[in-house]
Amino acid sequence: MSASSLQLKHSIVHPGGLIAILGGGQLGRMTAMAARTMGYRVRVMDPEPACPASFVVDETIVGRWDDVAAARRLAEGADAVTLEIEQIGVDALSAVAALAPLRPGVEPIRIIQDKTLQKTWLADNGFPVGPFRVIHSEADLQQAVPELGGRVFLKIGRGGYDGRGQARIGLDAPSTEEAIAAAWQSIGARPAVAEQALDLACEISVMAARNPSGEVRSYPAARNHHENQILAWSVLPANVPPELEARAEALAAAIIARLGIEGLLCVEAFVTRSGELLVNELAPRPHNSYHQSERGCVTSQFEQIVRTTCNLPLGDTTLLSPAAIVNLLGDVWLAGQPNFPAALAVPGVKLHLYEKHSPRAGRKMGHLSATGATADEALERVLEAKRRL
């Protein structure tokens, strides 16, 4: 790398500069809002002209995730580029990186966006993961299921999220050859990861941040609850034992440093009943389980990604108050207009909507957040607010 390109890579983007974001969904929207608060101009790229971020940014470039020409238009004139979705084509990422500092970088995204590569990278680098097999054919899966104890989650390598692209084997019915074959077909007979079902005590996540100068900070762990493989609610702090909390924060810091990410990395992890801490998945961007950082932490995840993108000092990740969120899926709207005044009557509750105008079952439309004297109180407040909807 030349001296001039090295200087560009580690340059600071001062307020007034132009930040570009690959993706204009709710995460891009909330990142853009934080950037605006700090005085930055914002441009996004998204397949949808009226994406959630489009209402709060200076410019929206319309393009698919693999659209190299659109990615170039996004990066031209930008002082730095980040992302809010990892499913960006590698060629598009490379085109961006040739025009502007791309933070988090091309290679970490190439690894993370394919679960078969991600899981293998974690295991090869000595990070703790549960038993798994990479699957390329039905024959691979037929062999892997009994080797993994007969109870397996099957996840496609690329493109799956919020439970899409997943199949359960042996959890609801015996793992017969016919059931295994059906599971393989249900994910489109595509490369996948087969993971052994674990005896879980809870699921947590830890957000880490790293700026181009190499500074790393971890947030306190969040405790998460999923329904139908979609995050239903999350609460800070996780209230896990101090030793486990320290291990989780150190694990996230170690992974983000090893990957060389300049940005955010959310490490989703399983805590087993025997006390093991095992990495489930990685997300190199803001994450649903840290929306409550806006309410509870000194620095929200959205301000933090602006800081990493602009090579500013990282913000304080201290938790000031317990906080919780509950997701609002499109299902809430299907029975009629939600009763938001009733929800907002609950003490400490705020409403966050994403300006998605077509509610449908399973689609994330917004969330409720709350603070409280304890994690349990914050969680009960958002759950009560959702009940009142």
Work out the number of other CB atoms within 10 angstroms of the CB of residue 48.
Answer: 13
| d(C-alpha 134, C-alpha 258), whole Å | 22
Q: What is the pLDDT of residues 103-115, one digit of tens each?
A: 999 999 999 999 9
Q: What is the pLDDT of residues 259-318, one digit of tens each?
A: 999 999 999 999 999 999 999 999 999 999 999 999 999 999 999 999 999 999 999 999
* Answer CATH for 200-388 from 1.10.8.590, 3.40.50.1110, 3.90.1150.10, 3.30.470.20: 3.30.470.20
Q: What is the pLDDT of residues 180-190, one digit of tens each?
A: 999 999 999 99
pTM as predicted = 0.94
Q: CATH topology for 131-196?
A: Dna Ligase; domain 1 (3.30.1490)
Domain parsing of the chain, residue ranges: 3-102, 131-196, 200-388
What is the SS3 string spanning 288-328?
A: HHHCCHHHHECCCHHHHHHHHHCCCCCCCCCECCCEEEEEE
Contact 249, 206 (CB under 8 A): yes
Phi, psi (deg, nearest 5) at residue 326: -130, 135
Rounded alpha-carbon distances, angstroms, from residue 49 to 25, 45, 229, 309, 386 = 11, 9, 29, 24, 30
Work out the number of other CB atoms within 10 angstroms of the CB of residue 352.
Answer: 17
Token duo for residue 254: 């170690």
* Answer CATH for 3-102 from 3.40.50.20, 3.90.1170.20, 1.20.1050.10, 3.30.70.1140: 3.40.50.20
Token duo for residue 174: 């015996």
Largest interatomic CA distance in the chain? 61
| d(C-alpha 368, C-alpha 342), whole Å | 12
Q: What is the pLDDT of residues 66-89, one digit of tens each?
A: 999 999 999 999 999 999 999 999
| d(C-alpha 263, C-alpha 188), whole Å | 33
